Amino acid sequence: MFPLYDDNPTYHPIVVTFLIIIANALVWVFVQGIGFDPALTKSVFTFGLIPGELLKTVPPGTTIPISPSLSYVIEAKSNWVTVLTSMFMHGGWFHIIGNMWFLKVFGDNVEDSMGSIRFFFFYILCGLSATATQIALSPNSAVPMVGASGAISGVMGAYALLYPRAPIHTLVFLGFFITRIVVPAYLMLGYWFLIQLLSSAPKIGSGGGGVAFGAHIGGFVAGIVLILFFRKKERMVKKRKREVWSNWR
């Protein structure tokens, strides 16, 4: 399932969601060279998070081959700033476009539930939780971890709890057959979370590359928990009253 948009209006200015999208786009263009090497590879290994380097579980000086003519050497110093910078790095066009699209679909309503400042800290905490989960599952990995999907998974978890019945217009891919359907958020997001759980099992403890399913799971669960503290109840009450009034009219 791929979400196109939702039928879930917002009632307050949405600022941080769009600023995060713009920040990721600027990093993609000016730091990652819009996906062209050597800028892409250099940015991933410089600003991506390498669990084995951060925790020193991979010996310093270990050489990681990247291509026949390029390699990366594990450093002795733990670069903790990559915990944050990795959240703004991406590995390709589909990676960044997919992440930013999901953020746009679900982020505006979650920001609307708590306000822009709270949403900024909520987003960062979800990203940190996702990163911590992935590190715990693959502490010996020498593969850089990049992408905003962990933080966005937290946004999705929050959305599932706040608006479980919100209609999500979704593309469904069944082999060569593609159709569009409208499903409640709990079904679309529940299906997505189940896929992450099933896909994570073979990856646990693996140092190989690929999708960081553990980060998705950690971020999603963190979003469900954190939204209980970050949402503003008065905003949710006002939103329900407006929707009731709109339906009555």
More reliable by pLDDT, 78 or 89 = 89
Low-confidence winner among 56-60, 147-151, 164-168, 173-177 (lowest mean pLDDT): 173-177
What value, to the nearest 5°, has the Cα angle with vertex 71 and ends 210 and 144? 30
pLDDT for 244? 64
Does 205 score more than 70 pLDDT? no
Dihedral angle over CA of 53, 56, 61, 62, nearest 10: -70
In the chain, what percentage of residues exceed pLDDT 90? 71
pLDDT for 188? 94
pLDDT for 131? 96
Kindly state which CATH superfamily the domain 2-248 is placed in. Rhomboid-like (1.20.1540.10)
- Contacts by 4-7 with C-beta closer than 8 Å and gap 24+? 4/105, 4/169, 4/170, 4/171, 4/180, 5/105, 5/168, 5/169, 6/105, 6/106, 6/109, 6/163, 6/166, 6/167, 6/168, 6/169, 6/185, 7/166, 7/167, 7/169, 7/182
Distance CA 222, CA 176 (A): 35
Q: What is the pTM of this model?
A: 0.91
Tell me the pLDDT of the chain averaged across its residues. 90
Find, among 243, 98, 223, the residue nearest to 167 by Cα.
243
Q: What is the mean pLDDT of the segment spanning 235-244?
A: 77
pLDDT for 155? 98
Does 237 score more than 70 pLDDT? yes
Residues 88 and 171: beta-carbon distance below 8 Å: no
In the chain, what percentage of residues exceed pLDDT 70? 93
Question: Residue with structure tokens 């915990």?
Answer: 83
Q: What is the pLDDT of residues 3-39, one digit of tens each?
A: 999 999 999 999 999 999 999 999 999 999 999 988 9
Go through the chain and tell me how many residues it has: 249
